[in-house]
């Protein structure tokens, strides 16, 4: 079984285990995990976080990252608190303040922004 990096992220707070929690799993490719597995993981984490965001880099595309969101029941088009938490989590996207990107674009089922 392949191992993935998982983090519980808290949006809209400066403290740990406060605010609005979401899970995040970093994928290395679009076929790294099946949809059924994403849903199963979100279901299993349902008492811990309300949604899980799956994120992967998309080099060579018009957007920088692709995000997908799953609740316990299904894939959802967009999850605001998960997006905010993921995009502000330094453990996923950069190595220190000087390397932090100035702007992100992302592709979700909702739209490319």
pLDDT tens digit sequence for 22-48:
999 988 877 889 999 999 999 999 888
DSSP letter at 103?
-
* Per-residue pLDDT reduced to its tens digit, 68-104: 999 999 999 888 888 888 877 766 555 555 555 555 5
Q: Are 59 and 47 in contact (CB under 8 A)?
A: no
Write down the mean pLDDT value for the chain.
79
pLDDT for the residue numbered 80: 86
- Residues whose CB is less than 8 angstroms from the CB of residue 67 and which lie 6 or more positions away in sequence, other chains included: 53, 54, 55, 82, 83, 86, 106, 107, 108
pLDDT of residue 58: 76
For 41, residues 6+ apart whose C-beta sits below 8 A from its C-beta are 25, 52, 70
- Give this prediction's pTM: 0.79
In this structure, the chain runs to a length of 113
Catalytic residues: 51
Domains of the chain, residue spans: 5-89
CATH number of 5-89: 3.10.310.10
């Amino acid at each position: 079984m392949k191992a993935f990096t998982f983090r519980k992220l808290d949006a809209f707070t400066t403290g740990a285990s406060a605010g609005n929690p979401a899970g995040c799993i970093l994928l290395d490719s679009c076929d790294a995990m099946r949809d059924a597995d994403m849903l199963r993981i979100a279901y299993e984490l349902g008492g811990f976080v309300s949604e899980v965001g799956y994120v992967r880099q998309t080099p060579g595309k018009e957007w920088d990252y692709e995000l997908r969101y799953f609740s316990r029941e299904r894939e959802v088009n967009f999850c605001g608190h998960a997006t905010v938490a993921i995009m502000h989590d330094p453990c996923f996207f950069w190595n220190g303040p000087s390397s932090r990107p100035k702007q992100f674009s992302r592709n979700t089922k909702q739209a490319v922004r």
